Amino acid sequence: MKLIMLGAPGAGKGTQAKRLAAKYSIPHISTGDIFRANIKNETELGKKAKSFMDQGLLVPDELVLELVADRLSQEDAMKGFVLDGFPRTIPQAESLTETLEKINSGINFAIDVDVPDKNIVRRMSGRRACVNCGETYHLTNLKPKQDGICDTCGSKLVLRSDDEPETVLKRLKVYHDQTQPLIDYYKGRDTLHSVDGTKDIKDIFSEIVEILGE
């Protein structure tokens, strides 16, 4: 089962992607996690990616495509995967389609987690991320066991610069300009399904599982 999670920044697609990966025993492939690891290790890719992410801009295709293609070629992704945060543009989607066609494969479902902009700004301002492992929490919806501390590794939780309201609004504009056309792209390939991202996390998950039919 090969899935793509679509939706604006903060729509909750990452949370659903992790749940789906666990349920179906397939890897959760997040470009955001890959970028954060590179930023933490201060690699050249990480430095370049950070300069765009801090401004709420998309990381250019050439910094992303080769990395994703390599990840999809690894053995654990052969039986399926959940892509989270990629593709973000039509050229990326077309490149992904070409890459999968070379191995006689393709995307089975593109799930759009739909949330209004005003909800996202409010939601992301309450989000906190671990400075060490990148795990994310929310002050009201997904609290850590101990305030300000990551459940996974015990490190400090912070409001990331790209979750601040001004940056979120920039990210949403970029999303509507460049990423939302993906909805039409996958609709044209008969793989798109939309879910109401304002519902409870468990209800959204149940709806997606019903769509997948497994």
Task: List residues with catalytic annotation.
Answer: 13, 88, 127, 160, 171
pLDDT category of residue 19 using cuts at 50, 70 and 90: very high
CA–CA distances in Å: residue 42 to residues 33, 38, 45: 14, 6, 8
What's the rounded mean pLDDT across residues 30-50?
81
In CATH terms, is domain 2-115+178-212 a member of 3.90.25.10? no
For residue 27, is the peptide bond before it cis, meaning its omega torsion is within 30 degrees of 0? no
The yes-or-no verdict on residue 190 having pLDDT over 90 is: yes
| Rg of the chain on CA atoms, in Å | 16
pLDDT digits (tens, 9 = 90+) for 99-113: 888 878 899 999 999
Q: What percent of the chain has pLDDT over 90?
A: 51
Helices (H), the chain: 13-24, 31-40, 44-53, 65-72, 90-102, 117-124, 165-174, 181-188, 201-212
pLDDT at 4: 96
Q: Which residue has the higher pLDDT, 172 or 85?
A: 172
Question: What does pTM read for this prediction?
Answer: 0.76
Nearest Cα neighbor of 194 from 183, 180, 179, 182 is 183
Cα distances from 134 to residues 27, 56, 74, 140, 195, in angstroms, run: 17, 17, 23, 18, 26
